[in-house]
Amino acid sequence: GAGVSQSPRYKVAKRGQDVALRCDPISGHVSLFWYQQALGQGPEFLTYFQNEAQLDKSGLPSDRFFAERPEGSVSTLKIQRTQQEDSAVYLCASSSTLAEEYNEQFFGPGTRLTVL
């Protein structure tokens, strides 16, 4: 079956540009997560949605980062006025059940963002 998909797979932006990264979760998955993975590091949590509600955005590094999931399926992570330190792989993950803490998260292939 189809997994989590992300687009674009690669994005190069000039410093100061705005970018939008898209995530299509597994159909029917209630929970959606965004993580940031810097080179040589483990993924770090950015934000979490349960359906269309953004329940945790404690990991967003600044107010330049904004995420939405208006219809409870596709999600977009937007970064305004990109900086070089934003260069990373952005991973999206989804899981199936409402507030089921033991369900594993399924990850997409990620979007590699390079800010010049």
Take residue 98 and report the two structure tokens written for it.
Answer: 């409402």
Between 62 and 97, whose beta carbon lies closer to another protein? 97
Angle among Cα 80, 67, 116 to the nearest 5 degrees reads: 30
DSSP-assigned beta bridge partners for residue 77:
21, 67
Q: Determine, following the binding rule CB under 8 A, whether residue 59 of this chain makes contact with another protein.
A: yes
Residues of this chain, 75-114, that bind another protein according to CB under 8 A:
91, 93, 99, 101-102, 104-110
Shortest Å, Cβ 49 to another protein: 10
Shortest Å, Cβ 81 to another protein: 26
Instruction: Give the list of residues 6+ apart from residue 100 with CB closer than 8 angstroms, or none.
Output: none
Q: Are 94 and 25 in contact (CB under 8 A)?
A: yes
- Applying CB under 8 A, which residues contact another protein? 4, 31, 33, 35, 40-45, 48, 50, 55-56, 59, 91, 93, 99, 101-102, 104-110
